[in-house]
Each structure stands twice: as C-alpha cells, then as structure tokens.
C-alpha cells in the first residue's frame, strides 16, 4: 500500500519543510489538491507553487486537478513537475483527448470519480490509465467522513481491472484513516490519500508506520 499524504491538511506556510519531513519519515508519494473555486467551492494552490517546490523534493508528485476543464492546464502542471495528473471525469467534455494530452506531455495519467459517478464512464478509457481515483467524500474540503457505499465501488473497480488483465492502480481519497485502511486494502485499494488523519497526528514516521501496519492486517 502506498500512502500519499494530502498537503491540503499540511502547514501551507511551511510547505518545503513539510515535504522534507515526509521524505524523512519514509514516504514516497505526496498528494497535491488543486482546486479552482469552480468545479469545487474551495481554492487552493496552482502550478507555480508546485514548480517552485519540485526543486526541493524527491517525492512522487501526485497532482489531483479538481478544476473545471482541466485540459486548459495540462501543459502548466506537466512543466511544473507533476509525476501524475489526475482529472475528474465530471470536469471535462472530452476525457479521452485530455488523457491523451497528459500522456503526450510524458506524465502518468489518472481519472477521478466523484462518489455518485458510476464506473461505466471508464469503459473505453480504462486501458489508458495508470490510476483511478475513487472519491470517498465529495471533493472540495478536508476532514469529511468516509461514504460507506464507496467500499463496494472500490471492489467492483478492482474486479474490472483484474478481468482486463491491467495493472491500473486504485487510489482512494476522503475520510481515510488507519481504522478503515484494512478494509480498503482488502477491497483492492493500492494508494491511500490521507489529509487530516495523517498531518493531524505527528510524528509523521510513526503515523506512516500506523497506516502500513493497518494495511498489513
């Protein structure tokens, strides 16, 4: 299981220090929540901040674009140093074209699905994806409670990936903590995003170990 802590719950005034602390704690991924105030009501950070901090970190930059018409910003975030760009199926009219553009920029690509969005929207693009992000809360805010029915969605997606013989990762974001980690991993989750349940419980190495121990159960 890969843990990708969400910087949405970190100290924004010390982002460089937070990234260094994550590396020191043995983390390999970090999750960037990019919000535009349109697709979701909140506004967070943009490509210039990621580009500046890319130089200071060796972590895998997992960039979640919660923005309307993400195709407008693919080049900016690729240039900023994103390792993975995840776009919402609900946010673009031309999903396949957007994914092809991400790949053309040499960046791994993923699709995020809101809790209510059915898996059938992935039918013709699943083979193109490095990762599918299952939102287990409605996007836009940290600290929300996990939506139970998304457990079944994770399991159904895992079966779909296996049936096609793919190696697509399944990421889960929203209300993830060590208590529900064992069940998430059992259902098929590969990458877990955790914000307040991670950053709110320092020291980071100890919290990382707690998530990994839960996953092993």
Q: At what angle do helices 47-54 and 15-24 cross, to 10 degrees?
A: 50
Is 106 labelled as part of a ligand binding site? no
CA–CA gap between residue 73 and residue 92 (Å, rounded): 12
b/e 22-48 (16+ beta carbons within 10 angstroms → b) = beebebebbbbbbbbeebbeeebbbbe
Q: How far apart are CA 57 and CA 43, in angstroms?
A: 23
User: What is the spatial distance between Cα 84 and Cα 59, in angstroms, rounded to a whole number?
Assistant: 12
Residue 4 among known ligand-binding residues: no
Q: What is the CA radius of gyration of the chain?
A: 16
What's the CA gap between 97 and 101, in Å, rounded? 6
Contacts of 101 (CB under 8 A, 6+ apart): 71, 74
Q: Which of 114, 112, 106, 119 is nearest to 70 (CA)?
A: 112
Would you say 143 is a known binding-site residue? yes
Query: Does 174 show up as a binding residue in the annotation?
Result: yes
Looking at 36, 130, 173, 177, which residue is catalytic?
Answer: 173
Query: Do the annotations mark residue 116 as ligand-binding?
Result: no
Give the N- to C-terminal CA distance of the chain in Å, as an integer: 12
Active-site residue 24, yes or no? no
Is 173 an active-site residue?
Answer: yes
What is the Cα–Cα distance from 29 to 56, expressed in whole angstroms? 14
Q: Is 209 a known ligand-binding residue?
A: no
Q: Is 31 annotated as a binding residue?
A: yes
Catalytic residue among 33, 36, 62, 190: 33
Catalytic residues: 33, 173
- Binding residues for a divalent metal cation, as ranges, are 31, 33, 64, 173
- Binding residues for substrate, as ranges, are 6, 64, 140-143, 173-175, 195-196
- Binding residues, as ranges, are 6, 31, 33, 64, 140-143, 173-175, 195-196
């Amino acid at each position: 299981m890969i843990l990708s802590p969400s910087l949405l719950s970190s100290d924004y005034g010390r982002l460089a220090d937070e990234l260094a602390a994550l590396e020191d704690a043995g983390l390999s991924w970090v999750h960037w929540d990019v919000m535009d105030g349109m697709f979701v009501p909140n506004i967070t950070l943009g490509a210039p901040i990621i580009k500046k901090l890319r130089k200071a970190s060796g972590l895998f930059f997992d960039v979640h674009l919660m923005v309307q018409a993400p195709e407008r910003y693919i080049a900016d975030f690729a240039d900023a140093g994103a390792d993975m760009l995840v776009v919402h199926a609900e946010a673009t009219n031309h999903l396949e074209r957007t994914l092809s553009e991400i790949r053309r920029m040499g960046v791994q690509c993923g699709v995020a699905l809101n809790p209510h969005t059915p898996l059938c929207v992935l039918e013709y693009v699943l083979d193109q994806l490095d990762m599918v992000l299952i939102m287990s809360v409605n996007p836009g805010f940290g600290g929300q409670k996990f939506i139970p029915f998304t457990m079944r969605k994770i399991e159904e997606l895992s079966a779909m990936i296996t049936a096609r013989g793919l190696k697509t990762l399944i990421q889960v974001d929203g209300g993830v903590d060590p208590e529900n980690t064992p069940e998430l991993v059992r259902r098929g989750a590969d990458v877990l995003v955790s914000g307040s349940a991670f950053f709110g419980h320092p020291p980071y190495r100890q919290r990382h170990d707690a998530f990994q121990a839960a996953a092993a159960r």
